[in-house]
Structure 1
Amino acid sequence: MTPHPWSLAGRTVLLTGAAGAVGKAAAAAFTEAGAKVVGVDRNKDALVSLIATGALADGLAGDLTDAEFVAQIVADQPEVDVLVNNVGAGTSLILADTTDDVLDHMVEINLRTAFRLCRAYAPGMAERRRGKVINLSSVLGMHPVPTVAAYAAAKASLIGFTKSIALEYAGRGVQCNVLAPGYLAGPKNAEYFDSDVGQQFVKRFMPTGRVGPEDALNGPLLFLASGMSDHMTGQVLVVDGGYSIW
Structure 2
Amino acid sequence: MYVYLSKIVPLFLMPLGLIIFAAVLVLLLLVTGRRRLAAWLLSFTVLLLWLAAMPIVAGSLYGRLESRFPPEPLARIPVSSCIVVLGGAVGLPFAPRQDIELTEAVDRVYKAVQLYREGKANRVFVAAGNQPRSESGPSEAALIGELLVEWGVPADAIQLEGRSRNTRENAVNIKPMLEATGCDRSLLVTSAAHMQRALASFKEVGLYAYPVSTDVRAIRRTEYTAMDFLPDAHALAMTSDAIREWMGQKVYQWNGWN
Give TM-score scaled by structure 2 length: 0.37
